Amino acid sequence: MSIRHTTTKNDIKEALTLLLAEKSLEEISISQLTKKAGINRSTFYLHYIDKYDLLDQLKEETLETIHHLLAESLGHPTNALLDVLTYLYQNIQFYKEISRHSQFCLRENIADFLEEVTHRTPGAVQVVISSYGVPEKYALQLFIEGVVGVITNWINEGGQESPEELATILLASPGFQW
């Protein structure tokens, strides 16, 4: 992808973030989006079919990036957590605004990734089970929902703690001693 395409897509993403702070996705028009991004409608349509395609592509980009970060840190859950938190923090305003829209499903995606990392890390499931002292399916649910809830709250509050501070908090929670 050329620098021009990357810049244009970033401008559109930034415009969407600003508009979502003011109104719902359904209330945002392509005209408003392109005006805020400083581009022509035809430029928008070179990249996206409509605003829902934009949202789908942004979601896919997020998932690909998180998958890539997790793959690079496989076997090192602390590094994986910090890498994902840093990525989210760099785009915190976007994720704060977009998380209010159910189409994006950020919470569910974070839960899926955490479950994947937990199952792929040797001994992690056993640590989670022993930390909670309840059957496996409940222990994993308590662990995953707790971590996801903290991350979601952090995003919704605009990332008041640094990624390092939040990682320290999460790593001190039950089940993360792997």
Six-digit token string for 91: 């785009």
Please give the pLDDT value at position 143. 96
3 state SS for 33-91: HHHHHCCCHHHHHHHCCCHHHHHHHHHHHHHHHHHHHHHHCCCCHHHHHHHHHHHHHHC
- At residue 63, the pLDDT reads 87
pLDDT of residue 4: 60
pLDDT at residue 2, rounded to an integer: 56
Q: What is the pTM of this model?
A: 0.85
CA dihedral 164, 104, 153, 172 (to 10 degrees): -40
- What is the structure's pLDDT at 120? 81
- Given the structure tokens 């003011």, which residue do they identify? 22
pLDDT at 150: 96
* pLDDT attached to residue 46: 95
Written out in words, the top-level CATH class of the domain with range 1-48 is mainly alpha
C-alpha 83, offset from chain centre: 12
The whole-number pLDDT of residue 103 equals 60
Query: CATH assignment of 52-178?
Result: 1.10.357.10
Q: For residue 123, give the amino acid letter.
A: G
Q: Which residues of the chain register pLDDT less than 70?
A: 1-5, 101-104, 178
Domain ranges of the chain: 1-48, 52-178
> What sign results for the dihedral spanned by CA atoms 162, 90, 64, 107?
positive
